[in-house]
Amino acid sequence: MSALLHPFANPAKAEDNFISVVKAERSTLWDSNGKSYIDGLASLWYCQVGHGRREIIDAVHQQMLEFESYHIFDPFTHEPARQVADAIVSKTPMPEGRVFLASSGSEAVDTALKIIRLHGQRRGGSGGAKQIIIRREHGYHGTNFGGTTAQGIASNREGWGDLIPHFVQVPSNDLEAVASLFAEKGDQIAGIISEPIQGAGGVIPPADGYLEGLRRLCDDHDALLCFDEVIAGFGRTGSWFGSQTWGVKPDLFTFAKGVTSGYQPLSGVVISEDIASDLEQMDEVLRHGYTYSGHAAACVAGIKNIEIIESEGLVERANTQLHSWFRDGLSALVADGVIESYRGQGAIWGADLGRDSVPVRDAMLEAGVVVRGIGNVMAFCPPLIITEGEVTQMLDTLVASL
């Protein structure tokens, strides 16, 4: 048994039963046996610009020759951290906001939850501090203690003992349930955390008017709306961020994954100008941070990755070409009776097979296509540089595997 303990795996699984990846280029992987695979999941929902991009590799290398990193706790800072924050916020619906940097989506989510609670502590209410955070069924928000508590996938919350108090779950896409909760406990609710499009919970887009309704309820009750953009961000939904795709501006949002396309670990939280102003008025230390907040090499990877996404028009490519390739291909499979339904946006799609998707996923993997099975849904989330021929091959492999 190897010393390595794999995440989301049976601890007893033998190491020789895993696929050992040895090379990756654009949308293709190779294992230690020389077998190739289409990377239909962009690794783990994140490799927007494809694998093997020398521009990012060279930029990271050059930064490490100068200095690999240095912390940015007071009184230190450095240019890569400032530049990546400016680059990120310029693409958001809140260009006057500020950015707190971390390393993983889970760290970003826990940061956002603490900011929501801090804001609620400062606002108070008739029942004291506003502490309740609303989570959605099927939501996924990482696996730190805050994110584990905030996610709406019950199996991921089980077995860890008591989690964080004052989280209340509502059914996914049920605006009436949220309104009822606000009517009952509005003066105690600090905020809502929601993915613009739920990813790991089954690729579930918001119902018409749902996100707008969340925005309205938060405005009416002085609560914060937080979008978890860890999967949706950096072009995945056909806009720089999912909030822009659905036209709803949150108070803060998390990002990770696509910010560097996975070339270095980087994440963070973008906060609105209003929240930033509130924090500035505290006139005291913000007692939160991570050793690798603003890691210089990771920040440089983010800067170069954003440049590539912009210069190659990958956001628009996701919105037009990838969207139409998947929509047309999956709709044809529904018409042929091969799958029951489909849903998605831009470059993230789910095909409802009407039965357990895991055996089909395994068959597709054997045939050289990497996808993700979630219940009855097969999830597709390829690099934004994937070709039409590769998308066709993925869908053909789905049919053959069914």
pLDDT of residue 129: 82
CA 293 to chain centre: 18
**Percent with pLDDT over 90 in the chain:** 97
pLDDT-derived band at 123 (thresholds 50, 70, 90) equals confident
pLDDT of residue 124: 73
Backbone torsion region of residue 29, taken as left when φ is above 0, otherwise alpha when ψ lies between -120 and 50, otherwise beta:
beta
Strands 377-380 and 348-352, by their bridges, are: antiparallel
pLDDT of residue 122: 85
pLDDT of residue 307: 98
pLDDT of 299 higher than 90: yes
**Segment 303-310 mean pLDDT:** 98
> What is the Cα–Cα distance from 237 to 240, expressed in whole angstroms?
8
pLDDT of residue 289: 97
Number of CB atoms found within 10 A of residue 165's CB: 8
**Segment 150-163 mean pLDDT:** 97
* CB distance 113 to 150 below 8 Å: yes
| 3-state percent breakdown (helix, strand, coil) of the chain, nearest 5 | 40, 15, 45
pLDDT tens digits, one per residue of 95-117 = 999 999 999 999 999 999 999 99
**Percent with pLDDT over 70 in the chain:** 99
Domains 15-53+313-401 and 89-292 share a fold: no
Q: What is 89-292's CATH topology?
A: Aspartate Aminotransferase; domain 2 (3.40.640)
pLDDT of 290 higher than 80: yes
pLDDT tens digits, one per residue of 71-88 = 999 999 999 999 999 999
Preceding omega of 95 cis (within 30 degrees of 0) = no
The rounded mean pLDDT for the chain is 97
- The domain limits of the chain are 15-53+313-401, 89-292
pLDDT of residue 101: 98
Burial of 7 (0-12, 13-18, 19+ CB in 10 A): exposed
pLDDT of residue 128: 63
pLDDT of residue 126: 54
pLDDT of residue 283: 83
Burial of 346 (0-12, 13-18, 19+ CB in 10 A): buried
pLDDT of residue 125: 57
Query: What sign for the dihedral angle of Cα 209, 210, 213, 218?
Result: negative
Q: What is 15-53+313-401's CATH topology?
A: Aspartate Aminotransferase, domain 1 (3.90.1150)
> What is the Cα–Cα distance from 360 to 66, expressed in whole angstroms?
48
Lowest-confidence range among 32-46, 198-212, 272-286, 304-318?
Answer: 272-286
> What is the Cα–Cα distance from 152 to 140, expressed in whole angstroms?
6
DSSP for 245-307 reads HTT---SEEEE-GGGTTTSS--EEEEE-HHHHHHHHTT-S------TTTT-HHHHHHHHHHHH
pLDDT tens digits, one per residue of 313-353 = 999 999 999 999 999 999 999 999 999 999 999 999 999 99
The CA–CA distances, whole Å, from 387 to 238, 315, 391 equal 16, 15, 6
